[in-house]
Amino acid sequence: MFGTQSKRDLPLEFQSQIPILRPSIHARRANLTVKFQDLYGFTVEGNVDDVNVLNEVREKVRQQGREWWSLEANKGANWYLQTSISEGNLKSSLKFSALGNSITLKRLIRKGIPPVLRPKVWFSLSGAAKKKSTVPESYYDDLIKATEGKVTPATRQIDHDLPRTFPGHPWLDTPEGHSALRRVLVGYSFRDSDVGYCQGLNYVAALLLLVMKTEEDAFWMLAVLLENVLVNDCYTNNLSGCHVEQRVVKEFLDKKCPRIAAHLEAMEFDVSLVATEWFLCLFSKSLPSETTLRVWDVLFYEGAKVLFHVALAIFKMKEDQLLITHHVGDVISILQRTTHHLFDPDELLTVAFDKIGSMTTNTISKQRKKQEPAVMKELDQRIRRLNSLKLDEK
């Protein structure tokens, strides 16, 4: 068969024309596995090239920091809050200034918020600060005191999941880290009993704690995520919102990456095998932490549409490899290997926004409404089957 001949099988006159390939120093170094801690304390395992990519990313972060500091010096510390354009008697010069700030801010956020500024920028732009301002100042402390010692199905599941949340992390996987994470998750489970607690939220809340530094700020970021940023019912008992999102991902994959979608459908590959974890954990279990947080930078400013952009980008980046797979397991392996080594956020986000094309919030909302009836019907049928089985057992 073509392409399977060894050098020994070829005629002598052709053997001299085949160069002897020796691994370069670069290739040999690339095979070395090294372990190191990233900016947020996670142990990362990769090769030397991965380390070089992370170093380049960190240099870009420093450059971004200089641009943010320059804007703060010229426009004021909270310039990014002056981006809304009001109606009425607002002077045109101020309108122009606000529009300029908005365009600049969107560009800067897609390039990444410097880690030192991330807590205050997220808290302001996401709506968390506004949400916190609507309740008494002691709300969080009062909530934690009121829930102390109470046992519910949610608290039992939280206690079960705490040691499994980023095991080995130097702070999260300690009694202090577990206690802080527990308070945030238990507190929210009582704030919204419809959501209570859902597996996946532990990873989201843990990463919020690392970024926001304080429990209370992490709590309000979690609240704004679940109540304003993400789709309703994403974390409720039947995960109906998450099921809807999976169907929307498949719909967009059909439109934006038709070759991949057709190949996966022929293999009977279900996108939800990988995308469920992506959406429930907001990529925090799949992507390196610094890449995840770059996705969250956009999420807290532009909304949940970025999750669809990123999901499709991951498929798109490995299109050639995916198109030659023959087994579902191979597809999962390729996608997991890809996400775990996406140390360069710019590479991912460039594909997500420049190669995937536009997906507006309005378009996504229409797709959600289109998919909801089928999801609810499917969940209803599942409940009926379970009830039928229970009756048979009796």
Cα end-to-end span (Å), the chain: 61
Model pLDDT for residues 365-390, shown as the tens digit of each residue: 999 999 999 999 988 888 877 776 66
**Rounded Cα gap, residues 309 and 313, in angstroms:** 6
Express each pLDDT in 103-131 by its tens digit.
889 999 999 999 999 999 999 999 999 99
* Three-state DSSP class for residue 305: helix
State the pLDDT confidence band at 92, using cuts at 50, 70 and 90. Answer: very low
Q: Which residue has the higher pLDDT, 91 or 368?
A: 368
Which one, of 198, 178, 179, lies nearest residue 188 by Cα?
Answer: 198
Burial class (CB in 10 A: 0-12, 13-18, 19+), 146: exposed
User: Does residue 49 or residue 245 have the better pLDDT?
Assistant: 245
Q: Are 315 and 257 in contact (CB under 8 A)?
A: yes
Read off the pLDDT of residues 292-341 as tens digits, 9 standing for 90 and up: 999 999 999 999 999 999 999 999 999 999 999 999 999 999 999 999 99
- Give CATH superfamily name and number for 241-393: Ypt/Rab-GAP domain of gyp1p, domain 3 (1.10.472.80)
